Amino acid sequence: QGFWLAFERMTNKRPLYAKTPVAIQMSLTFILVIFGWVLFRSETLADAIQYLQTMMGVAEPSTRELMVRPIHVAAAIAGAAAIWLFPTTQKLIHKPKLSWVLPLQLAFWLSLIHLHYVSHVPFLYFQF
């Protein structure tokens, strides 16, 4: 991701894709973030390359990666719907609506309660 920040500075913050449709812009951003996550979370560079090849259909997936259950598909569909249908944080900040306050507060407090009662919460940055 540091590469993309440097690239952005070199182009004076003018996106190269400014004239492309928003759906394509969002898709490209999503793909770049996914690649960044793979590099960040992989144990080794070889693991990252293998995983990226599998994602692109170049390498055969292991059987562990084939275990997609209906709940996984439902979660992916729900996540995609949330991304595409709900307003962005920029819209919420610039045009706040009172109807969003209670659901957001409720989600925040439910998250805190869940974290309190879960027995194990892995720390994402333990590798550092």
DSSP string covering 65-110, please?
Answer: GG---HHHHHHHHHHHHHHHHSPPHHHHHHS--HHHHHHHHHHHHH
Q: Is the overall model pTM greater than 0.75, yes or no?
A: no
pLDDT tens per residue across all 128 residues of the chain: 577 778 777 777 666 667 788 888 888 888 989 999 998 888 899 989 988 888 887 877 666 656 778 888 899 999 999 888 887 777 777 776 778 778 888 999 999 998 888 777 666 665 54
